[in-house]
């Protein structure tokens, strides 16, 4: 597959998750909840987690934001559901490393699976915070850090 075909496939997946985001609802029975805010773009979201015996049983997300933020939140929710807290934290670190790397630098594509669709975001510094907001919010929820986080 050429790099142009791959980029188009990635854009289609981001568009699909933006138009039909997964797990976008308040989560009854959540035992972790944090609000996230990106003042640069205006993205606001709430991440709800139900964690039992160190496993993320369910994820809910509510809020509004740009296409990158919504798609990132949707794909994050699918990718962390059913994982242990340690596995979700490892995925968070791999995602953050991919997004914040220097353009053209390598990243762990095998660890990220379909999250690789966001690899091109690193070329647009203004969009990095959009893509990482759901992840930082989920990370704060797992760590039990406060009720609200900001990208600033």
Pairing of strands 148-150, 32-38: parallel
Provide the 8-state DSSP code for 102.
P
Q: What is the mean pLDDT of residues 115-120?
A: 90
- Asked whether the beta carbons of 39 and 150 are under 8 A apart, the reply is yes
Asked whether residue 107 carries a pLDDT value surpassing 70, the answer given is: yes
Asked whether residue 6 carries a pLDDT value surpassing 90, the answer given is: no
What percent of the chain stands above pLDDT 70? Answer: 93
Give the tokens for residue 63: 């809020």
Of the candidates 87, 90, 78, 30, the residue with the CA atom closest to the CA atom of residue 54? 87
Asked whether residue 81 carries a pLDDT value surpassing 70, the answer given is: yes
Query: pTM of the prediction?
Result: 0.91
């Amino acid at each position: 597959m050429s790099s142009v075909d791959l980029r188009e496939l990635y854009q289609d997946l981001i568009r699909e998750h933006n138009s039909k985001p997964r797990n976008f609802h308040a989560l009854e029975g959540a035992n972790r909840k944090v609000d996230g805010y990106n003042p640069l773009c205006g993205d606001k979201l709430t991440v709800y987690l139900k964690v039992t015996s160190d496993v993320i049983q369910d994820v809910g997300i509510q809020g509004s934001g740009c296409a990158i933020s919504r798609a990132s939140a949707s794909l994050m929710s699918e990718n962390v559901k059913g994982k242990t807290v340690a596995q979700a934290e490892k995925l968070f670190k791999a995602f953050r490393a991919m997004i914040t790397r220097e353009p053209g630098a390598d990243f762990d594509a095998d660890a990220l699976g379909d999250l690789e669709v966001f690899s091109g975001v690193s070329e647009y510094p203004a969009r990095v915070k959009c893509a990482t907001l759901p992840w930082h919010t989920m990370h704060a929820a797992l760590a039990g850090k406060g009720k609200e986080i900001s990208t600033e």
